[in-house]
Structure 1
Amino acid sequence: MKLKSLILGSVAAAGLSTAGFAADLGVLTSLDVCDALGLSGLTISSDTNCLQLSGGVSYEFNYGDFRTEGVVAGTFDGNRNIGVRDGAADWNTKVEAWLKAVGTADSDFGPAKAVIKIKEVDLTRVSRTGAGAVAVDNDGERVGLYIDEAYVAVGDTTVVMAGKKGSIANLGDDEPFNFLGLFNSDAIDGKGVGIDNDYTGLGGHVIQVVSDLGNGVNVGVGLENLNDNTPSDRILNNAPAADDAVDPTRAGTLVGVVSYAGEGITAHATGAAFGILDGNVEQWAVQAGATGTFDAFKIRGAVSYWDNHKATTADVLNALVSVEGTFDLFKIALSGEVANVTNAPANIETGNVGNYTDYGFGGSVGVNVTEGVAINLGARYFFDDVSAIGQDKSTVQVAAQIVAAVTETIKVTGELGGYFGNAIADNATFRNDSIVYGAAELAWAPGGGFTSSVKGEVNSEESYKVTFKAAKSFE
């Protein structure tokens, strides 16, 4: 939809009456600057600039007995938690809204842009214990009204960008194909292999240059995190976090990236050096991934390494490989991962600094039973090395899932599965040596960019959770 079409329609009718109005119409036809720049969507034009507007609103509500959690597969990079009943209801309610404006004009170097994105997150998270105590917090998430992006850019095949925005780092081509995924991959924000747990030190205040070299090759270099954009740099309950002060040793990240896309292959390599503004590299990381598509088969491999050579935290190597084959009625996927940790911080159980290697496997089979109905069968295993105290915190998950398109706009998904292994049996939080769970979801997408869903989950730890979501975006 274009607002200018409505404007032009009205002006055209008025412009036919007098020569004076015709002259005005000649000015207003310059609204076609959006078309001249190749821009579409919801746009408003002046004689030299095209303004694109986009935005969205999403809502999520969770209710149940789920805030008490137990770890089922702990790794250095994170863990997977399962809700355990504590006898009191918990709930989260969250509204997220954003509005983005992009103003574009032509220049001798290519399109010149100014981008402003405003975002608001309104979140209440209530956790209650069996004794009736109530804790209200925002779960470490930034809340309130703030500017999410504000930057300028100019260029065509080569683009220069400066301001507040996301990173140019390419961290893709690293998620497993099997429908359950992999344990360590799930523990990393964004899944995959990551380059650190929260991608800290990337984006924020930046100066970046990216260039399309042709034949599917793109390169980029940037100075990022010039404002020390760390996880602690958030607003909690509309007040700065306690450690929100800028640390000069963390500020400044030099990012370089090269990527390729074409002929059934996508691949990239990203490197980053952290904390460079004080003249020293505090940490560095690399991440690379590639995906190849060959007729009925896909293969993917990815690796990342994070070196904290001037810090006391661990150095981490994460890697995975995944293959998928699609046949007439079947889809088969197999995946494997490894996480090697050296110079780990003191273990809470042993009190020792340790080195260890964790690994995992996963696989799934998908079957198209009828048109619109599919069944997925999957399993995954994770070996969590706690050899320092003679323990194997391994975990196994198996699951069966059915996905049915009831109508063109309604989809129903059901899943039944369980967790087994020493990570369950040895965890004092869990009441059982194994955990069985069930989940059902009804999703509705009637069109117009509107989506909604309701999902219910329950497990043998007597925990339950009901989630409602609704969202709509426009552009």
Structure 2
Amino acid sequence: MKLKSLILGSVAAAGLSTAGFAADLGVLTSLDVCDELGLSGLTISSDTNCLQISGGVSYEFNWGDFRTEDDIAHTYDGDRVISVGDDPTDWNSKVEAWLKFVGTASSDFGPAKAVIVIKETDLTRVNRSGAVTTVDSDGNFDGLQLDEAYVQIGDTTVIMAGKKGSIANLGDDEPFNFLGLFNSDAIDGKGVGIDGDYTGIGGHVIQVVSDLGNGVSAGIALEDLNSDSAVAGVVPAFMGSLVGVLSYAGENLTAHVTGIAFGILDGNVESWAIHAGATGTFDAFKVRGAVSYWDNFKFGGTDVVHALVSAEGTFDMFKIALSGEVANENPGVTDYGVGGSIGATVTEGVSINLGARYFTSNAGVGDTYQVAAQLVAAVTETIKITAEVGGYFGDEITFHHGESVYYGAAELAWAPGGGFTSSIKGEVNSEEAYKVTFKAAKTFE
């Protein structure tokens, strides 16, 4: 209960005992600003603004012999790698913390907000040579970072300006099978894209998004207005991006198309990209398709396309998923991949997953396969055990490792409530690498 509400309630109760206070009772019992705005959680209110506070802290510690890495499968945007043992011990210790403040007041155009997000990542990494690396949020060792700071106003149509993430919708693109796909795995968020998340979006922005009704929303934005990136000898600067988004969210279908024009501030579009995806749910079946294209010619690269399709069916205790992908980076580099899995609920709280995936690339020396079996068991309402064994096979593996690579992993996760989560995980493979990971986190709002 808010302290202000408690005080107002006490005064109101006292007023009821005296008729002389009746005229003032309407003022004394007026709603708190946060209640008037429909805002809840950890809040502090003034006469005109409601301040919401949320945050979190997470900790991760890794120990073992895992720093050396070698190729698993060659993909168009970088090699897949696997840890290789090399005797000396490695360890990482990382703390991440964030605080978010949202101040909201009413206006004639809808809620007016100021948002500030402070974030810090403190990482110490010790490698096998004994070298110690310490990194904070931006690598400059300068303490807390201003992760977001922007103003926002509106209800069905919202205007935002300042430092924040992009309005680009890059969803509806993750494969359903539990192992995923090799190229998709190399993309941040396990989807379709180019070289991880698109560069040149977010940052300093001016954005407008609007709910058009019937599940349709649209947005347009100027983003990356603070960028000074450049490609030496190719373009003078890669500054400013124009982002447009059209999305639909219905009962059985979600879909979107996002378009991005990069480097627009000098009056010339240096490059452009498009990302589209859709997910349909039909009784026991789910179907998903996604495609990403980047015209990268002006940056000294080549046009890139990455597409995938995925389907999932649930039949009583069984769940079956199939996925396929293709990626092309001209000239002459085409990657293909397929994957599938079957899951079964053995008893209440216990399930198993069997999966396999395949990958081939013109940039590699041959094919790559992975097969795995996974067991997930909810021991109690708060404790879950996950175990997995599997292996990597094919010409690409034997070329880099001389033989197939086998691995095993087990994780114990604990979520007792209150926003607290914790886990400990052990991993080992036939390349004599091993890793133990401890995690703990707590959020509040």
**TM, length-normalised to structure 2:** 0.93
Letter in 2 for 1:337: E
Distance 1:272 1:140 in 2: 27
- Does the 8 A contact of 1:78 with 1:197 survive in 2? no
Alignment of structure 1 residues 31-430 onto 2, 5 Å: 32-128=32-128, 132-136=129-133, 138=135, 142=139, 144-228=143-227, 249-342=237-330, 354-386=331-363, 392-427=365-400, 430=401
Deviation of the 1:13 alpha carbon: 3.1
| 2:407 corresponding residue in structure 1 | 437
Deviation of the 1:75 alpha carbon: 1.4
Q: Which moved more, 1:156-165 or 1:133-142?
A: 133-142
Distance 2:24 2:9 in 1: 10
Distance 2:42 2:25 in 1: 21
Q: Which moved more, 1:16-25 or 1:299-308?
A: 16-25
Deviation of the 1:96 alpha carbon: 0.4
Deviation of the 1:385 alpha carbon: 1.3
Q: Which moved more, 1:66-75 or 1:328-337?
A: 66-75
Q: 1:69 to 1:12 in 2, by over 3 A?
A: same
Distance 2:137 2:50 in 1: 38
Distance 1:122 1:417 in 2: 33
Deviation of the 1:248 alpha carbon: 6.4
Distance 1:293 1:425 in 2: 41
- The Cα offsets for residues 208-244 of structure 1, whole Å up to 9 and x where unpaired, read as 00000000000000000000176x9xxxxxxxxxx9x
Distance 1:300 1:286 in 2: 17
- Does the 8 A contact of 1:212 with 1:219 survive in 2? yes
Aligned residue pair count:
437
- The Cα offsets for residues 346-376 of structure 1, whole Å up to 9 and x where unpaired, read as xxxxxxxx42110000000000001110000
Distance 1:141 1:331 in 2: 42
- The Cα offsets for residues 137-165 of structure 1, whole Å up to 9 and x where unpaired, read as 54996564110110001111100100000
Q: 1:140 to 1:357 in 2, by over 3 A?
A: farther
Distance 1:419 1:140 in 2: 34
- Structure 2 unaligned spans of 5+: none
- The Cα offsets for residues 308-352 of structure 1, whole Å up to 9 and x where unpaired, read as 12121232100000000011100000000001001xxxxxxxxxx
Letter in 2 for 1:275: G
Distance 2:34 2:228 in 1: 35
Distance 1:162 1:218 in 2: 19
Question: Secondary structure at 2:258's aligned position in 1?
Answer: strand
Question: Secondary structure at 2:109's aligned position in 1?
Answer: coil
Q: 1:28 to 1:17 in 2, by over 3 A?
A: closer
Question: Secondary structure at 2:33's aligned position in 1?
Answer: helix
- Does the 8 A contact of 2:114 with 2:151 survive in 1? yes
Letter in 2 for 1:360: G
Question: Secondary structure at 2:5's aligned position in 1?
Answer: helix
- Does the 8 A contact of 2:271 with 2:295 survive in 1? yes
Deviation of the 1:7 alpha carbon: 3.1
Distance 1:173 1:229 in 2: 31
- Does the 8 A contact of 1:119 with 1:147 survive in 2? yes
Letter in 2 for 1:202: I
- The Cα offsets for residues 99-155 of structure 1, whole Å up to 9 and x where unpaired, read as 001011111111111000111111111211xxx442525499656411011000111
Is 1:450 matched with 2:413?
no
RMSD of aligned C-alpha atoms? Answer: 2.3
Distance 2:52 2:32 in 1: 13
- Does the 8 A contact of 2:187 with 2:194 survive in 1? no
- Does the 8 A contact of 1:54 with 1:473 survive in 2? yes
- Does the 8 A contact of 2:121 with 2:136 survive in 1? no
Distance 2:303 2:368 in 1: 24
Deviation of the 1:177 alpha carbon: 0.1
Q: 1:462 to 1:35 in 2, by over 3 A?
A: same
Q: 1:133 to 1:61 in 2, by over 3 A?
A: closer
**TM, length-normalised to structure 1:** 0.87
